[in-house]
Structure formats: C-alpha cells, structure tokens
Amino acid sequence: MTDYTHRVMKGSIIVLISLVLGAGLGYVLQLVLSRMLSLSDFGLFYAILSFVGLLFGLKQIGTGPAFVRYVTEYKTKNDICSIKKVLITFLLIQLVLFGILCLVILLLSGYLTNSYFKTDKAFWPLIIITGAYFFSIFMSAFRGFFNAYQKMGMYSIVEFLQTLLFLVSAFILMRINNSTVSASWAFFISYLLVAIICFIFVMTLFPFFKVKAKLDVDIFKKLIRFGIPVTIGMIGTSLITSMDVSFLTYFYPLEKVGLYGIAVTIAGVSRFIPRSLTAILLPVTTELYITENTGLSAGISRLFRLLAVVVLPCAMLLTVLSNQTILVLFGTKFLGAAEAVPFQAWAIVFYSFFLVNQTILLGIHKPRIYAFIIVTGVIIGVVANLLFVPHFGMIGAGIADALTCFMITVQSLWYLRKYLHITLPWRAWIKTLVASGLLIVPVFFVGNLHLNVFLQIIAVVAPGVILYTVALFLLKVIHTEDINTVLSMIRRKKMSAAGQA
C-alpha cells in the first residue's frame, strides 16, 4: 500500500504545482490580450470562447471519467487490445457529437453573429474557435490516457502547455494583425500543436499502430452506461455550485452579487487541493478495486485524515483573516464581501471531501450512486437557498452552500462505508479541528498592535502555523508512517536525480 500512497502523494503534488502555475499563466494571458485588444474586442473574444467552450463541454456526456476508468481496468488486466478499443470508441463518440455541434453552430452562425454577439466581427472568430475544438477531442482522449497510466507529469502539462502556446502564438500573431481573428488563430494553433505533442507522448506509452482493434459494441455500451449518470451528476454539480449566486441575483442588487463573487473567488483558491488529489485518485482507486487490494479501505481512511490536516487550517485562516485578505487582493472597495468568506471557506472544506468521495465512487464503479447524491444535493440546495437567501442575503447564500456541501459529503461517506467498509478517522478529525483552533490565538495579540495589513497577516499566519504543526504532533494526528512516506519520496527523488547525472 506504501507504493500507492507514494503514487497518490507524488501525483497530487505534480498536479497541484501545475494548477498553480497554470492559473498564473492564465492571468498573464488575460493581461496580454486585454492590453493588445480594445475593450470591446476583448469582451467579444472571451464571449465567443465562453460560448463555444460551454457548448462543446456537453460533448463529453460523462464519458471522460468512463474512459479513464476502463483504460485503467484493462491496463491492470494487461489487455492492450481492449485499451485500444476503448480509445477508438471514445474518439468515435466524441467525433459524432462534435459533428452535430458543429452543424448547429454553422446553421446558427448568422443568428449568433447578428443577434447574440451583435457584430459582424464575431463570424470568423466563431468559426476558427469551433474548428480548434476538433483537436480538443484528441487532447482530452490523450490526457485521459495519461491519467489512466498515472503519468501525472504528462497529464498535468497538457493544459499548461496549451495556455503557454496560446500566449506565445497570440503575442506573435497579434503583432502582425491586432484583432480577434488573430487571437482566435492563436487559440487554434495552441490546440493543434498540443494534440500533436500529446500523440507523440502516447506513442511512448502504448504501441498504438501495432495493436489491431476495432469498434466494440459492448465497450460502447459500457461507456454510455457509465457516462449517462456521470453527466447527470456533472449537470447537478454545476447547479449546486452556481445556484447560490442565482438566488442572490434574483433577491438582491447586483452590487451584493459582485461582493459575494469576491468571497467565492477567495475561498475557491482552496479547491486546488482536492482537484490535485482527484486527478490521480480515479485510476489508483480503480486499480486497487479491480485487484481487490485489501489496503484500499485503510488507504482511504488515511487520505481522509491527511486531507483534514490540509483543508481545516485553510478554512480557519480565511475565517479570521477575511478582512485582511480582501484588503490585500481587492482593496477597501470590496470589504463588504468579508462577511461571506467564512461560510464559503467552510463550504470548501465539505466540498473537498465530497470531490474525493465522488472520485472514489466512480473508481469503484458506482456512477448511479454519485448521480443520486448530486440530485439530492440539488434539491437540498434549492430548499436551503429559498429559506436563507431572501432573509440573510450573502450570509444566507453562504449558509445554504455550506449546508448543501455538508449534506452531500455525509451521503457520500455513508455509501463509502457501505461499499468499502472504511473506518472514518473521527478522533483524528476532532484533534485536527482543535489544533486548527490554535491558529486563532495570534489574532488576540495582533489586534493590539498597530501593523499594516501585510504584517498583520504574517504575524497571524507564521506563529499560528507553528502552533498548529506542534499540536498535530503532540495530538498524534501526524504519524511516523506519514513522515517516512515523505522522506521516502525525497530519497527516491534524490536517487533518480543522481541516476540521471
């Protein structure tokens, strides 16, 4: 089980670093485009990008997780013929859906240009960006392939590389012709080049041309049967994560919605942590479940213990430093958002556990259970928002979001206990919560000091983290096994570097 723990930790760290770097590069890209395009052209380009991205997001119909799940299964069984069948079937499904969506866009291009985007300048960017999504089919397939093979370096670099190539291409092309058409061609080129690079990477992992395979009806049925409930779950998840904003928009002025959006953005930074975990967790869970590895339940319990160690202090710090965080990132104009930050921070704690739980449920082939939990969550979310938002505004929206995330997390934990007989680390969670409470202690001393906002944050975080870390060891939340795992990772890294030298 140690090898699997090492894989999960190493893969998560790689994905986390990639997500952070990608977010930074995405910010630079937006900055470059906003400087090189006029405000109206910049708005038009991102409106088209968002519209086409939303439309083509539907083409997956949940088959993405199914693709990763079945490639992992057949890789574990060393059935390379079936792996290629899954790849061919997945690509065929995606190409058919792409063709249908392309036809819809072409038929509606005149209406979209004149009535939706309200400018003739939208036509060619719309067509070019639509064409770019042809290559996204292969990008998503190859990226899923890397995920199933647990090549997280290759998996992580895809989005980062696409953003980087988009940035470089845009900078070059827009020097020649500063327009939305040039920006669209840059987007097209980035997808084309990344698809080619990904295919080269795949060839190093899998003998694509040496294996003979064709479309398999049974595999097609498997992908669809797995994909439909996942699609329902994905749509429901989108509703859960956006309904608080929708209800707030209906009952309150847009200024309140803007402030709430700031709170969501600040708390949302914590989502990088569970996202980095779920990328590697799906193939690892599938592999362990298929091989009937008895360490799966113990590994999940350990993961739950360590996840709490990371996410609980983040929520606690955001709770006590909400004003300071907003001042540093957004300024005094948005200080009104501070009241909603703590509720969003704790909603992210529950949602982090749910993201891990849903990935495990998909890994053990329970997509219908996942869909059922999400549908239940949507119902709870609607009721909670109707109860709290009209009376309590932003705080009500935060409470509704936290309550919904809590309920779907409890449900998912119940099903995991049912199917995998896991032991939940209740004592470790309580100890971690107590240790997290020590992060509040420096606040009482800092309040009496006349420090600027940056020094206030440092004066709270630095001693708070030290107290928290010491408490984790004293309360035995962190075990010797955890330290040995980290040391083992460092030793392997050094040995690998020495071998390459």
Q: Which of 298, 341, 311, 305 is nearest to 323 (CA)?
A: 341
Is the model's pLDDT at 143 over the cut of 80? yes
**Measured torsion, CA atoms of residues 211, 216, 219, 220, in degrees rounded to the nearest 10:** 130
pLDDT digits (tens, 9 = 90+) for 14-49: 887 887 788 788 878 877 888 888 878 888 888 888
Question: What's the average model confidence in pLDDT over 227-256?
Answer: 85
Which range (80-94, 114-128, 179-193, 269-283) has the least confidence?
269-283
Query: 411, 357 in Cβ contact below 8 A?
Result: no
Query: 74, 86 in Cβ contact below 8 A?
Result: yes
More confident position, 499 or 411: 411
Is the model's pLDDT at 489 over the cut of 80? no
Check residue 488 and give its pLDDT.
Answer: 59
Fill in the amino acid letter for 369: I
Which range (6-10, 217-221, 335-339) has the least confidence?
6-10
Q: Which of 86-95, 236-245, 273-282 has the highest mean pLDDT?
A: 86-95
Check residue 286 and give its pLDDT.
Answer: 86
pLDDT band, residue 492 (cuts 50/70/90): low
State what percent of residues in the chain have pLDDT above 90. Answer: 34
pLDDT digits (tens, 9 = 90+) for 262-271: 888 788 777 7
For the question of whether the overall pTM of this predicted structure is more than 0.85, the answer is no
Check residue 277 and give its pLDDT.
Answer: 79
More confident position, 439 or 447: 439
Is the model's pLDDT at 499 over the cut of 80? no
Q: Which of 142, 147, 155 is nearest to 69 (CA)?
A: 147
Is the model's pLDDT at 494 over the cut of 50? no
Q: Cα separation of 29 and 170, whole Å? A: 9
Check residue 451 and give its pLDDT.
Answer: 77
Check residue 440 and give its pLDDT.
Answer: 87
Check residue 434 and give its pLDDT.
Answer: 94
Average pLDDT, the chain: 85
Which range (225-234, 311-320, 364-373) has the least confidence?
225-234
Check residue 135 and give its pLDDT.
Answer: 93
State what percent of residues in the chain have pLDDT above 70. Answer: 92
Question: What's the average model confidence in pLDDT over 3-13?
Answer: 69
pLDDT digits (tens, 9 = 90+) for 365-389: 899 999 999 999 999 999 999 999 9
pLDDT band, residue 125 (cuts 50/70/90): very high
Fill in the amino acid letter for 280: I
Q: Report the b/e string of 363-375 with b at 16+ CB within 10 A.
A: bbbbbbbbbbbbb
Question: What's the average model confidence in pLDDT over 57-82?
Answer: 83
Q: Which of 51-60, 113-122, 285-294 has the highest mean pLDDT?
A: 113-122
- Which three-class secondary structure state does DSSP give residue 288? helix
Q: Cα separation of 135 and 139, whole Å? A: 6
Is the model's pLDDT at 294 over the cut of 80? no
Question: What's the average model confidence in pLDDT over 397-425?
Answer: 94
Kindly give the residue spans of alpha helices, DSSP state H, lying in 291-338: 295-320, 322-329
Is the model's pLDDT at 4 over the cut of 70? no
Query: 85, 218 in Cβ contact below 8 A?
Result: no
Check residue 500 and give its pLDDT.
Answer: 46
Q: Which token pair is 236? A: 């429901």
Angle between helices 2-36 and 39-57 (to 10 degrees): 140
Check residue 198 and give its pLDDT.
Answer: 92
Check residue 345 and give its pLDDT.
Answer: 92
Is the model's pLDDT at 195 over the cut of 50? yes
Check residue 342 and give its pLDDT.
Answer: 92
